[in-house]
Amino acid sequence: MHKDIKLFAGNATMKLAEEISEHLQVPIADMVVKRFSDAETFVKINENVRGHDAFVIQSTCTPVNDNLMELLLIIDALKRSSAARITAVIPYYGYARQDRKTQPRVPISSKLVADLITVAGTHRILTIDLHAGQIQGFFNIPVDHLYAEPVIAKYVKEKYSLDNLTVVSPDAGGVERARAFAGRLNCPLAIIDKRRDEANICSVMNVIGNVIGKDVILFDDLIDTAGTITQGARLLKEHGARNVYAACTHPVLSGPAIERLNESVIEELIVTNTIPLNSEIKKCPKIHSLSIAYLIGEAIRSIHEETSISILFV
């Protein structure tokens, strides 16, 4: 057994790290992360970590490259300080959408990022709702892949009547994810058939399944510019849906996302705090954020005690 847990919080997800710290009753370790005048990142660990079980909590969200570099440098500092085991806790794994070559002469960015994190000195990965599950295979180290689905489902069960609720996948690629969510709620499933012409631009085509008179909830892993989700919501209304809600794990919400949400027929968007919401996003009355601190905290406890994390999937 390694020595005590050491929690390290990157700047990207400081509030989430504080919630995890409170849940585990483990303080956040003393560390300095700052920028030089030329914008280079400097990291210094201010306490002994030799032989300890270190967990670095950092989403690689906006600004993606800065947060990724910060994560790599923290891991390198811990490795050079003789931490016994380093687990990178990455609630939101950036670059996950570039998981294969879809055009000639383009990189597979999620594989490159996996290599960088591994080479930096990471022994284990803990992450939530990867955009593509096969990204786990890009790592040659253990990956604990958790799902925020139970957290979101609990909220939906408490707030909405399930008798008239239908879960909708916003595209064919998300059917497996939406089907699992629908199964957890014991609700029927519908699918939106769409064609994506280019990144962040899609053309919604049709609805597969009955949504007439139904309350529907669009379920996806992430929402970026909100084009897909808001077009899908409008299409569902046109096909007779009564109330339209949406839910996702990762609220990327870039570019025109908030404007689109405010103007959309979506009544509520349920998200988690894998990505912190900025002040502009927090002003949107349609967004409700749920904390996944308990989920990550219990996973960290299980990893440290070397017990099964399968109970977290129930």
> Looking at the annotation, which residues are catalytic?
194
For every residue of the chain, which 3-state class applies, written as one string? Answer: CCCCEEEEECHHHHHHHHHHHHHHCCCECCEEEEECCCCCEEEEECCCCCCCEEEEECCCCCCHHHHHHHHHHHHHHHHHCCCCEEEEEECCCCCCCCCCCCCCCCCCHHHHHHHHHHHHCCCEEEEECCCCHHHHHHCCCCEEEECCHHHHHHHHHHHCCCCCEEEEECCHHHHHHHHHHHHHHCCCEEEEEEEEEECCEEEEEEEECCCCCCEEEEEEEEECCCHHHHHHHHHHHHCCCCEEEEEEEEECCCCCHHHHHHHCCEEEEEEECCCCCCHHHHCCCCEEEECCHHHHHHHHHHHHHCCCCHHHHC
Distance CA 55, CA 76 (A): 13
As to burial, measured by CB atoms within 10 angstroms (0-12 exposed, 13-18 middle, 19+ buried), residue 283 is exposed
As given in the structure block, the two tokens for residue 5 are 């847990």
What is the distance of C-alpha 183 from the center of its chain? 21
As given in the structure block, the two tokens for residue 263 are 């103007």
